[in-house]
Amino acid sequence: MHFFNEEAQLRAQCRALAQYAGMPQTSIAEKLNRSEGWVSKWTGVDNFEDATRPGRPRTALTPSNMEKLSQCRGKTRQSCAVVAKRLDIGKSSVSRGFLEQDLPALRRPRQSKMTENHEEMRMETAENFKDEPPQFWDDVMSTDEKIWTVNGSLNVQNDRVRAQSSEEVDPYDLDKFPAQRMSWLGISSKGHTGIKWMRGKVNGEYYRKNILKKVIVDDVLKRKGVGKKINRRKMFSSNKRMVFVQDWATPHSTNVNEKFMEKHFPNHSPTLHRFRGKHEYFFSPKMDDVWPIERVWGIMSQDVYREPRPVHIKAVMRRVREASLNLSERTLTKLMHQIPALLNEVYRLKGKKIPSNFDPSKSKHACKCDVCMS
């Protein structure tokens, strides 16, 4: 503190000799026993605290570096460590600079690859069905297959443990070749088919005999009544009006299966390109961001892989069945009634994928029925 006061007095004296006494800088330097550079620096300075300082800048976030950080927008592999090494500044400075420019590090979402032809077909589907009311989708069955594994979907971002050091955290063991089973499920706004497990090689013949015939023709189309369990109740107001929607998996796209569906339930979505523009219920491939069965899988996964996580495949299968029975009719109805809003969003985006943060309930095309508004 004493040094600061003495130095401040010399600076004030230097300023007074220059401004009020008109003494040359050489004479001031001799009088104060300071160098001419020191006198030149402090001559005429009104506020010593705002004076220029020698050496490197107080912050590494210079305008030049901030401009270089802004050029990292949208580019991959732009971690703080990589950028800090390239700019020769600290990682904390880089992190602070990114945050000041609203450029946090975000994970890249994963989606199935789409071509221009896929976007064009999605646009056609959205244009054909975007104006259908939510009640139209009450007669639609959305179906899909999913492979369940023992490892499940481990979220490394959320699966954390509170501890003082990493040595206190037990690792999570993963099987190198985890056991797995494939399941099939069909849902409507009133119920679902129940989980159907698929074994062995799943080809067109297996799909026709075990799903199209045993599940759809011999079970779903013969159901009566609505007071039963959600996997046994009648799924449509009239079984004759059922619209069977399937994805474009290879076992679905056979001529034999197409003839079988045309005979037993004509209202179905064909998966052969020759029906494009010719069939009433031709739906584009790559519609996983629209069909509610994909969100049902996500809801069930949260229940299946809850703690304590299952360690063998039979436990996984048991939890999958339990999760399917826990689905409520209200949830299924809301998911089916969101399809018009999703199709209108696909149409607005000209066939591109719907972003994950899109909320169908806030769309102007959202359903206004009592269930969806509750």
Res. 2: pLDDT tops 50: no
CA 339, 340, 341, 344 torsion-angle sign: positive
Residue-level pLDDT at 155: 66
Residue-level pLDDT at 45: 57
Res. 56: pLDDT tops 60: no
- Residue 34 banded pLDDT, cuts 50, 70, 90: confident
> Which pairs from 320-328 meet CB under 8 Å and 24+ separation?
320/148, 320/183, 320/195, 321/195, 323/299, 324/185, 324/192, 324/194, 324/195, 324/231, 324/300, 325/229, 325/230, 325/231, 327/187, 327/192, 327/230, 327/296, 327/299, 327/300, 328/230
The pLDDT tens digits of the residues spanning 301-354 come to 999 998 888 889 999 999 999 999 999 999 999 999 999 999 999 999 999 999
CA 78, 84, 88, 93 torsion-angle sign: positive
Mean pLDDT for the stretch of residues 5-33: 82
Residue-level pLDDT at 57: 57
Per-residue tokens: 198: 């698929």
Per-residue tokens: 240: 């004759």
Q: CA 73, CA 312: separation in Å to the nearest integer?
A: 44
pTM assigned to the model: 0.75
Residue-level pLDDT at 361: 92
Q: What is the mean pLDDT of the chain?
A: 88
Kindly list the domain boundaries of the chain, sorted by start residue.
Answer: 2-48, 63-100, 116-157+178-373
| Alpha-carbon dihedral 339, 344, 346, 350, rounded to 10 degrees | 160
Residue-level pLDDT at 331: 96
Res. 244: pLDDT tops 80: yes
Cβ(212)–Cβ(261) below 8 Å: yes
Of 304, 335, 354, 322, residue with least CA distance to 149: 304
The pLDDT tens digits of the residues spanning 179-216 come to 999 999 999 999 999 999 998 889 999 999 999 999 99
For domain 116-157+178-373, the CATH class is alpha beta
Per-residue tokens: 190: 């009133």
Residues sharing a CB contact under 8 Å with residue 227, sequence separation 6 or more, in sequence order: 233
The pLDDT tens digits of the residues spanning 253-290 come to 999 999 999 999 999 999 999 999 999 999 999 999 99
- Residue 53 banded pLDDT, cuts 50, 70, 90: low
Res. 14: pLDDT tops 70: yes
Distance in Å from the first CA to the final CA of the chain: 69
* Identity of the residue numbered 322: E
* Identity of the residue numbered 162: R
